[in-house]
Amino acid sequence: MTTVDTFSEGRSLRRIREDRTPSAAIGYSDPPKGAAEKAARANDGKPRRPRSVSGVALLPFLLPVTLVLLWQAGSSFGFISDRIMPSPVAVVAAFWERLLSGELARDVGVSGARALSGLLIGGSIGFLLGIANGVSKLSEQLTDTTLQMLRTIPHLAMIPLVILWFGIGEEAKLFLTSLGVLFPIYLNTYHGVKNVDRDLIEMGRIYGMSGWSLFRKVIFPGALPSIFVGLRYALGIMWLTLIVSETIAANSGIGYMANTAREFMMTDVVVLALVIYAVLGKLADVIARTLERAALSWNPAYQR
């Protein structure tokens, strides 16, 4: 009796195993695998690491570090006026001072909470609408055109109206941030659901999935890569909206900190606010990316 393991299958199994050997992992992929590995071990019995790994890892930081050094040198030698631009050292000093006084933690905390609640509210609405319109024809016909129309209005253009509605309190910021993140999440969720492989959905139905189980096992995971794109896009809009709304009117938060500093010509604090925004933005993106990697580990594009 012939067994299934014809040698063609056997060969592909072997190929997969070979791909996992350390020699392949560090980039030797030429045929005489054994030889390459032997050469790699020749030094002191350990596989040799490519020499340039640390250099490559540091390369992206070369430019910003050089710029900061030039900036500091320009300030120190008096080429750049303190009124125009504080020196990096002054920014660090301002950071330290505000950290010790506890103002910084409070302002960052307030801004962070605003950003997060806006994301949560707007994101949930966008997500639910995206799912509903992706799954249900009726819901799509009811709301999609309206949403597509509203989407084209720059949400920051609503500021005058929002101030009239909510004054300058928390509601105004929450409303603007929610509105800003709603659309990218809606669009990408909707797009993701619409583009789930029809064949997989048919397969799911054949195997008795319907409603919730079809959603959980097929539609949601299929839409997830697109949803993550929407999330990362929304994070950018979230910070942008928050900065603008905090700068216009606020009595706490990073934008408030920067605006107050402007009135007193404290350029170091203004720049500090910019740096904090940059760090928070990057942090949010890193978190989103980590989540993405964890959730999409099945996808070859996200493996390793």
Binding region for other proteins (CB under 8 A): 1-9, 12, 16, 199-200, 202-204, 206-209, 213, 217-218, 221-222, 224, 296-300
Instruction: Return the number of the residue (112 or 222) whose C-beta is nearest other proteins.
Output: 222
Tokens 């905090």 belong to 246
For the chain, give the number of residues: 304
Provide the residue type at 297 as one letter. S
Instruction: Return the number of the residue (38 or 205) whose C-beta is nearest other proteins.
Output: 205
Instruction: Return the number of the residue (16 or 164) whose C-beta is nearest other proteins.
Output: 16
Instruction: Return the number of the residue (100 or 301) whose C-beta is nearest other proteins.
Output: 301
* Sequence-ordered strand ranges (E) for the chain: none
Minimum CB–partner distance for residue 99 and other proteins (Å): 43
Instruction: Return the number of the residue (12 or 81) whose C-beta is nearest other proteins.
Output: 12
| Cα–Cα distance for residue pair 78/93, rounded to 1 Å | 18
Is the Cβ–Cβ distance between 225 and 299 less than 8 Å?
yes
Instruction: Return the number of the residue (16 or 157) whose C-beta is nearest other proteins.
Output: 16
Minimum CB–partner distance for residue 213 and other proteins (Å): 5
Helix axes 220-248, 267-295, angle to 10 degrees: 170
Is the Cβ–Cβ distance between 172 and 204 less than 8 Å?
no
Minimum CB–partner distance for residue 298 and other proteins (Å): 4
Is the Cβ–Cβ distance between 183 and 231 less than 8 Å?
no
Minimum CB–partner distance for residue 303 and other proteins (Å): 8
Minimum CB–partner distance for residue 284 and other proteins (Å): 25
Assigned token pair, 237? 């809009």
Instruction: Return the number of the residue (71 or 302) whose C-beta is nearest other proteins.
Output: 302
| Cα–Cα distance for residue pair 304/299, rounded to 1 Å | 10
Minimum CB–partner distance for residue 2 and other proteins (Å): 5
Which pairs count as long-range contacts for 141-146, CB under 8 Å and 24+ apart, including other chains?
144/190
Is the Cβ–Cβ distance between 280 and 108 less than 8 Å?
yes
| Cα–Cα distance for residue pair 121/174, rounded to 1 Å | 8
Torsion of CA 147, 148, 150, 154, to 10 degrees: 130
Minimum CB–partner distance for residue 24 and other proteins (Å): 15
